[in-house]
Amino acid sequence: MRRLKPYLALLGAVVLLDQVTKAIVVRAIELHDYRSIIDGLLSLSHVHNRGAAFGVLSDARLPHQPELLAALSLAALVAIAYYFVRLPASARLPRVALALVLGGAVGNLIDRVRLGHVVDFVHVYWRQHAWPDFNVADSAITIGVVLLILDILRQPRTEKSEAPGIDAAASTPGRID
């Protein structure tokens, strides 16, 4: 358990930062209001996301949608946590990545259970194009996924292993030595 402490601290920091920033936004910005930070590019907002990531299914109005999304989030959390604890101690980058993903998932799950929606507040746009509003938890999840992809890409590719005792070059069809 001691070897997991730094990763659990990162997970906890993500949850804490996520919840604190959401509480500040809820107190400081009216629902559906926007405050420009960088004109034409970035605003702070206060919106409620009743759907999944990036607003997917936010207008679906499925029966028991908050409970369904919370249950799916919890199932994903359990699966990711199981994978996380089974990683070898040498897998530092995947552990950091999964700590970010888990922290973000916990932060958003807290909102879903407590409020029935997720509070989003970062609004990125350019002219008439806008990215769906997001929050610290979403950012942590995205960074974690990018780190996982980078870790996968940096892994050396291994050739299909041949049967023991067979020289791969000698068994290549059409090869003339």
Phi and psi, residue 162, nearest 5°: -85, 165
Selecting among 18, 111, 120, 133, the annotated active-site residue is 120
With CA atoms as reference, report the closest residue to 144 among 64, 83, 61: 83
Whether the CB-CB separation of 158 and 165 falls below 8 Å is answered with: no
Which residues does 8 contact at the CB level (< 8 Å), separation at least 6?
99
The residue written with tokens 């990125």 in the block is: 124
Nearest in space to 21 (alpha carbons), one of 43, 40, 41, 44? 44
Catalytic-residue membership of 167: no
Q: Is 33 a catalytic residue?
A: no
Q: Which are the contacts of 117, defined by CB distance < 8 A and separation ≥ 6?
A: 48, 49, 50, 66, 111
Select which of 59, 138, 151, 167 is catalytic.
Answer: 138
Catalytic residues: 120, 138
